[in-house]
């Protein structure tokens, strides 16, 4: 639809797709409902413009895939970057890049700006690299962006990333499964459509729940898990902040105490929340930055290890 303007209104896949979208009803929350596409658009525009969606992993450059490292260090590429991509990874970028301002309350405007930047690059015949934290398709709007790029008339390539859902707990010495402790893992987001709270799965003792993008509403989340999903107040909870980065921190508490502990330690995104008995499988008293009661291991994990 948008790319037609760059090609003087020429008809083609984007024009046909635009007509379908214009006729489609609005979904709840004001988003467009897309009719199923008849076919995929080409991987590049006539002027050579193309898009690649890339996962940046949890934050450490060492956890980039080889393919991701190769594409972000190419000086000819234009990178459109999520706000939470780490400074360490930004330092590897070889060419021009722009960072989206996806602060709380600004996500809609920021996403629109991202699409405008991508469109501008495509019109210039650039290789646009959409760099997203973690894996693009794990609560990262990756699928939505693929559909939007198809509306532009181009099929994006995709390079998966290491998701924080599994790597962040590992980097914080927390196994998401452990024989006799947890035999299932559930991944959740802290924010549903229009910033609503998503439905919560009911408590099961041998279960690990990993929350992404939820630290901003941690207190409400814990309250809902206890009152609506029957999680005991003494359920262990850990938060791994900036996983894999030099300033990685982990805080540990219970469903009842973790919000206060996180507030006292000024925990901020990007952070991954882990809920379940696995939190205490590998951690010892020596891991904590100050003396704790071994029966209620809580507090800030040592950061100088």
Q: Which residues of 142-166 are buried (b: 16+ CB within 10 A; e: fewer)?
A: beebbebbbbbbbbbbbbbbbbbbb
Strand partners, 131: 54, 81
Distance of CA 116 to the CA centre of its chain: 21
Is residue 82 among the annotated active site residues? yes
CB of 278 within 8 A of CB of 176? yes
Residue 213 annotated in active site: yes
Q: How far apart are CA 53 and CA 74, in angstroms?
A: 15
Identify the active-site residue in 102, 151, 255, 287: 102
Is 102 part of the annotated catalytic residue set? yes
**Catalytic entry in 135, 213, 255, 287:** 213
By the 8 A CB rule, do 107 and 139 touch? no
Conformation bin of residue 264: beta by default, left when phi > 0, alpha when psi is -120 to 50: alpha
Residue 90 has φ and ψ, to the nearest 5°, of: -55, -35
Catalytic position from the list 82, 135, 151, 287: 82
Q: What is the C-alpha R_g of the chain?
A: 21
Q: Which of 84, 113, 42, 109 is nearest to 244 (CA)?
A: 84
Q: Are the C-beta atoms of 281 and 178 separated by less than 8 Å? A: yes
Rounded CA-CA distance 226/203 in Å is 9
Strands of 145-275, DSSP E: 157-159, 185-189, 208-212, 236-241, 249-254, 271-275
Q: Which residues are catalytic?
A: 82, 102, 213
């Amino acid at each position: 639809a948008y790319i037609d303007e760059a090609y003087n209104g020429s008809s083609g896949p984007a024009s046909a797709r635009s007509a379908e979208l214009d006729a489609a009803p609005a979904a709840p929350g004001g988003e467009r409902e897309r009719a199923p596409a008849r076919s995929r658009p080409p991987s590049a525009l006539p002027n050579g413009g193309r898009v690649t969606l890339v996962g940046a992993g949890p934050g450490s450059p060492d956890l980039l895939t080889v393919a991701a490292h190769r594409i972000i260090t190419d000086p000819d590429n234009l990178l459109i970057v999520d706000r939470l991509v780490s400074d360490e990874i930004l330092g590897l970028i070889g060419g021009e890049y722009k960072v989206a301002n996806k602060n709380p309350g600004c996500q809609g405007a920021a996403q629109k700006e991202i699409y405008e930047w991508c469109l501008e690059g495509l019109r210039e015949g650039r290789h646009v690299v959409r760099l997203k934290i973690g894996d693009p398709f794990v609560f990262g709007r990756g699928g939505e962006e693929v559909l939007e790029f198809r509306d532009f008339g181009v099929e994006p390539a995709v390079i998966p990333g290491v998701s924080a859902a599994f790597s962040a707990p590992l980097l914080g010495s927390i196994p998401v499964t452990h024989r006799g402790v947890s035999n299932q893992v559930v991944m959740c987001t802290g924010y549903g459509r229009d910033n609503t709270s998503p439905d919560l799965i009911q408590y099961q003792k041998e279960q690990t729940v990993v929350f992404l993008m939820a630290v901003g509403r941690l207190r409400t989340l814990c309250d809902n898990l206890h009152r609506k999903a029957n999680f005991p107040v003494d359920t262990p909870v850990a938060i791994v902040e900036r996983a894999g980065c030099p300033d990685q921190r982990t805080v540990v508490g219970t469903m009842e105490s973790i919000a206060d502990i996180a507030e006292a330690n000024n925990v901020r995104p990007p952070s991954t929340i882990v809920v379940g008995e696995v939190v205490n499988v590998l951690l010892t008293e020596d891991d904590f930055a100050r003396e704790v009661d071994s029966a209620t291991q809580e507090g800030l994990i040592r950061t100088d290890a």
